[in-house]
Structure 1
């Protein structure tokens, strides 16, 4: 055999002196074959370096499901908010859904929304999905202060978009919030800012597993001596008065936040942005005039469906023993709320 040629069932059969069908049965440990034959064929296959073709395996699985009537092209989108359309008030979740739906349709799936409260709770919703033969579940972000679900995912392939569910642990696709803060700190430092302040509400910080705060403090640890380590402003709610007091006391030359309302607070107080103080937003949905990180939430939603499709095709159901989290990078957008204080942006301070 030539170098690089994939070893086939036929190759294994010729070497082992058996038929292709016998090779296929032996590699599946089929009890219809003698144990001696199974071990012989498997030994030959290992010696030749045989590995199944993933495309053929997927096609075989598809054909089998068609014959047995198991295939269902519906992906259930689960929402666990107090009202049916509560999640639609969140622009990020809306974009998750838009990206997910577009990718699902591209892959040949139809998307159906299931509001858990409307269906009589988690156990009842689970039963409905199972009885309808639905195999794939996309879990939308949970509402604030909700971190757990009493939902048995064992019969479904499941992916959550956005990392809000703490238990049970499922595969996740979300933004790289830690990386977003690292990018932000890097660019602000190279633009010449020296008093970089972070203002985020405590609830939002907790929602994102404190990744913004951890990343900011890690960045502060690397600050040179000519930079000031500004204390974090982390109240329960970002109110105008306390925020402006913190800003004045610490003489920040730039503020990082997830809440663009702080920009309005500064402008209303007569602070010129970016001439007096710069502003960088951690999670912009639209890259327009404001500076900061463009989140690309539709991309996150589409990747969540791609992962879910892979799990469904490979028959992986329930909560994984080795859960994965895919992090989608945001993009830096200079915008108009930051000023270049250091024109040699390519050189570290």
Structure 2
């Protein structure tokens, strides 16, 4: 047998590093129970010896952990980049991401620990030193304020993933809601309910943060509609309030339903323009709140944001278990499907709902 193809064992790594097999196991899992210097030495030896965990053993250990309480053995950094330390938590979607990440991390024996990338005196190198000194090998970047936002961590030390579409540089493994499927689902439900003039309204900054995903699906759908059914979308430039542009657009194009990410439509349409929902105009949210913050129960897409946060943890932990640190040459994207939730802002019959529900399920199954 070719010696170059021989599989390196954990015992051999332990012997070469002068530590126990338990120390190797803890170091590979990012545990704080071994010192940072020892962990780095073990990782260096494991890398030099081309050690790779046995997938059958990993599966067995995963099954064992599933049947007994897990041990909190390391933290995963939740690195935020808003103007203030808690700025990310102002949006309910990001809180749901965190909640899902926290729950999944706990199930796997980790904890989520927030760090602010822009705290006083902080830069990428210093934050990297802080994380390494704490024995933290996993990093999650939740959504950032702008696609231009950069975080200059020393990525070679970390297993990493980002959430959503807003963090673009460097390219990380990504967990996100399946936004194109969400727009497709919204359009299909509107059509099934008999709406013929379907309008789309989005702020420019939201469109950029969604990587133009909703926009591209809507424009592709319009391409195959009869001309009389095409409603020019309302694309609101950054810094301009939507309600300032909404009235003229409604008057000119007369949509019978609006699809959009801003739930404030349930207030704007009746209060500013005297349009009752759904009697005068329908409304579908592309990202409806988990809790009902309005008296009106909104119809639209529940993106199951907690599941997205959970997927980000899975991406990071999988890399840690495989001892894969640094930026990937082939970053993965994991999409989580949303679900249609019926409310009172769209007129749907039971037949419409049943037909669309079966199509939605078929879409999820085929993907």
TM-score grouping bracket, smaller chain normalisation: 0.7 to 0.9
CA distance in structure 2 between the aligned counterparts of 1:245 and 1:57, rounded to whole angstroms: 60
Does the 8 Å CA contact 1:200/1:238 hold for their aligned counterparts?
Answer: no
1:28 CA displacement: 4.0
Q: CA 1:132 to 1:189, structure 2 compared with 1: closer, same or farther past 3 Å? A: same
Length-normalised TM-score, structure 1: 0.78
Report the secondary structure of 1:97's partner residue. Answer: helix
The ranges of structure 1 where at least 4 consecutive aligned residues each deviate by more than 4 angstroms after the TM superposition are 22-25, 57-60, 341-345
Out of 118, 124, 141, which is 2:143 matched to? Answer: 141
- Greater fraction helix: 2
CA distance in structure 2 between the aligned counterparts of 1:312 and 1:293, rounded to whole angstroms: 33
Q: Does 1:313 align with 2:334?
A: no
1:150 CA displacement: 2.0
Determine which structure has more spread, i.e. the larger CA radius of gyration.
1
Q: CA 1:246 to 1:25, structure 2 compared with 1: closer, same or farther past 3 Å? A: closer
Does the 8 Å CA contact 1:141/1:165 hold for their aligned counterparts?
Answer: yes
Out of 327, 331, 353, which is 1:323 matched to? Answer: 331
Does the 8 Å CA contact 1:194/1:227 hold for their aligned counterparts?
Answer: no
Residue of structure 2 in register with 1:55 after alignment: 56
Q: CA 1:55 to 1:343, structure 2 compared with 1: closer, same or farther past 3 Å? A: closer
Structure 2 unmatched runs, 5+: 13-51, 62-71, 360-367
Please show how residues 250-289 of structure 1 align to structure 2 within 5 Å: 250-268=253-271, 269-286=273-290, 288=292, 289=297
Please show how residues 68-107 of structure 1 align to structure 2 within 5 Å: 73-107=74-108
Residue of structure 1 in register with 2:7 after alignment: 27
Q: CA 1:90 to 1:146, structure 2 compared with 1: closer, same or farther past 3 Å? A: farther
Higher mean displacement: 157-166 or 146-155: 146-155
Report the secondary structure of 1:280's partner residue. Answer: strand
CA distance in structure 1 between the aligned counterparts of 2:349 and 2:58, rounded to whole angstroms: 57
Does the 8 Å CA contact 1:285/1:296 hold for their aligned counterparts?
Answer: no
1:52 CA displacement: 8.6
Report the secondary structure of 1:27's partner residue. Answer: coil
1:285 CA displacement: 2.5
Please show how residues 181-200 of structure 1 align to structure 2 within 5 Å: 181-200=183-202
Length-normalised TM-score, structure 2: 0.74
Does the 8 Å CA contact 2:74/2:135 hold for their aligned counterparts?
Answer: no
1:125 CA displacement: 0.2
Structure 1 unmatched runs, 5+: 1-15, 17-21, 31-50, 61-70
Higher mean displacement: 189-198 or 120-129: 120-129
1:73 CA displacement: 1.3
CA RMSD of aligned residues (A): 2.9
Q: Does 1:300 align with 2:345?
A: no
Does the 8 Å CA contact 2:147/2:208 hold for their aligned counterparts?
Answer: no
1:306 CA displacement: 1.4
1:137 CA displacement: 0.8
Does the 8 Å CA contact 2:125/2:154 hold for their aligned counterparts?
Answer: yes
Q: CA 1:337 to 1:57, structure 2 compared with 1: closer, same or farther past 3 Å? A: closer
